[in-house]
């Protein structure tokens, strides 16, 4: 069996080390024309980043809309029938530092959301009698490396930028006592992809900005045919003993169509320190529609879903992928 892991070496090690060194260094605030150029550059880069299919495919799967179905009713204190989240992007920015013609930075998106739990307080009924709404805020980050193609034109509004590499997205609520620590993909060809930190797992863009591929130790974008079985395994560090509520939302295209949501099954739970290390797993079938999508994993503590007053805690990772025609 082939095994693909994130390796911090060659170009990857250089970019990551350089990015950390630069972004944690001095931060001088430019004024006047420099400030205007910086603002124009940021807007231009934001436009390029957000037009990238790997970035654009995240929100349609993060904002679940109608994908709220849970198969079967659960028999605990309150009885959820459907669970889903409605997310709204409220702010975004790209903080970066230039090294020659290359920009190293962090793309940050802040979402305001509402978690909807359609449930019943009566264990004997098969009909929901309440919809609990829990507002929450999440921050999703990803690292981006861009190349400035037009370095001879000092009118920054005309700069042409290209994405060289982009990391996987991750984030969640600030008060979370649950963290995703590892994601393992068992691919249809028998290979295994292991991701330990989404913001350090980069996807490399093609020479002409085409689909991302593996290069110099950087990860390649998962590439599937339609109707293939893919097993996803998620390792969780949780402060709580109860089984968490871990879901996978996938399949939505850039227009939000063909979305599917699945609940992962608990495979193991091991006490560690003051908390627990748990492994969840699910096999999903890739959708029949070609193009870019993102598999979004959300991990909630059990009480967030099964108690009507517990505030939302959630950790989120995303994995872009491509479905061949």
Q: For tokens 């929100």, what's the residue?
A: 59
Q: What is the mean pLDDT of residues 104-118?
A: 94
Q: What is the mean pLDDT of residues 102-118?
A: 94
Cβ–Cβ under 8 Å, residues 212 and 221: yes
| 145 or 175, which is more confident | 145
pLDDT (tens digit, 9 = 90+) per residue, 244-273?
A: 999 999 888 777 777 888 999 999 999 999
Q: Is the pTM of this model over 0.85?
A: no
In the predicted structure, residue 193 carries a pLDDT above the cut 50 = yes
> For the chain, which residues make up each domain, given as ranges?
3-22+33-71+87-107+141-323
Kindly report the three-state secondary structure assignment for every residue of the chain.
CCEEECCCCHHHHHHHHHHHHHHCCCCCCCCCHHHHHHHHHHHHHHHHHHHCHHHHCHHHHHCCCCCCECCCCCCCCCEEEEEEEEEEEEEEEEEEEEECCEEEEEEEEEEEEEEEEEEECCCCCCCCCEEEEEEEEEEEEEEEEEEECCCCCCCHHHCCEEEEEEECCEEECCCCCEEEEEEEEECCCCCEEEECCHHHCEEECCCCCCCCECECCEECCCEECCCCEEEEEEEEEECCCCCCEEEEEECCCCCCCCCEEEECEEEEEEEECCEEEEEEEEEEECCCCCEEEEEEEEEECHHHHHCCCCCCCCEEEEEEEEECC
Q: What is the pLDDT of residue 151?
A: 56
Which of 47-51, 63-67, 164-168 has the weakest average pLDDT? 63-67
Tokens representing residue 202 in the block: 């980069």
For residue 16, how far is the Cα from the chain centroid?
19
In the predicted structure, residue 319 carries a pLDDT above the cut 60 = yes
Q: Longest C-alpha distance within the chain, in Å?
A: 72
Tokens representing residue 298 in the block: 């959300």
In the predicted structure, residue 22 carries a pLDDT above the cut 90 = no
* Cα Rg of the chain (Å, integer): 21
Task: Report the SS3 class of residue 1.
Answer: coil
Q: What is the pLDDT of residue 291?
A: 81
* pLDDT level of residue 194 (50, 70, 90 thresholds): very high
Tokens representing residue 77 in the block: 């204190």
């Amino acid at each position: 069996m082939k095994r693909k892991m994130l390796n911090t070496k060659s170009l990857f090690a250089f970019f990551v080390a350089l990015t950390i060194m630069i972004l944690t260094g001095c931060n001088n605030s430019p004024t006047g024309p420099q400030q205007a150029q910086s603002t124009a550059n940021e807007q231009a880069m934001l436009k390029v980043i957000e037009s990238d299919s790997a970035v654009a495919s995240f929100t349609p799967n993060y904002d679940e809309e109608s994908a709220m179905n849970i198969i079967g009713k659960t028999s605990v204190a309150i009885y959820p029938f459907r669970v889903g989240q409605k997310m709204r992007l409220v702010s975004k920015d790209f903080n970066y530092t230039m090294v020659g013609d290359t920009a190293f930075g962090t793309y940050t998106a802040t979402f305001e959301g509402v978690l909807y739990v359609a449930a019943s307080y009566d264990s004997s009924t098969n009909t929901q009698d309440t919809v609990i709404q829990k507002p929450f805020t999440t921050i999703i980050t990803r690292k981006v490396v861009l190349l400035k193609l037009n370095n001879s034109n000092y009118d920054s509004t005309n700069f042409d930028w290209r994405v060289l590499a982009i990391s996987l997205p991750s984030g969640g609520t600030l008060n979370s006592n649950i963290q995703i620590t590892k994601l393992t993909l068992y691919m249809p060809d028998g290979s295994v992809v292991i991701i330990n930190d989404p913001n350090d797992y980069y996807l490399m863009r093609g020479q002409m900005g085409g689909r991302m591929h593996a290069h110099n130790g950087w990860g390649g974008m998962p590439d599937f045919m339609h109707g293939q079985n893919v097993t996803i395994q998620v390792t969780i560090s949780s402060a709580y003993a109860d089984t968490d509520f871990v879901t996978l939302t996938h399949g939505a295209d850039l227009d939000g169509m063909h979305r599917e949501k699945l609940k992962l099954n608990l495979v193991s739970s091991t006490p560690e320190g003051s908390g627990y290390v748990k492994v969840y797993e699910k096999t999903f079938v890739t959708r029949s529609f070609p193009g870019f999508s993102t598999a979004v994993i959300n991990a909630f503590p059990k009480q967030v879903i099964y108690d009507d007053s517990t505030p939302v805690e959630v950790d989120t990772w995303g994995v872009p992928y491509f479905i061949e025609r």
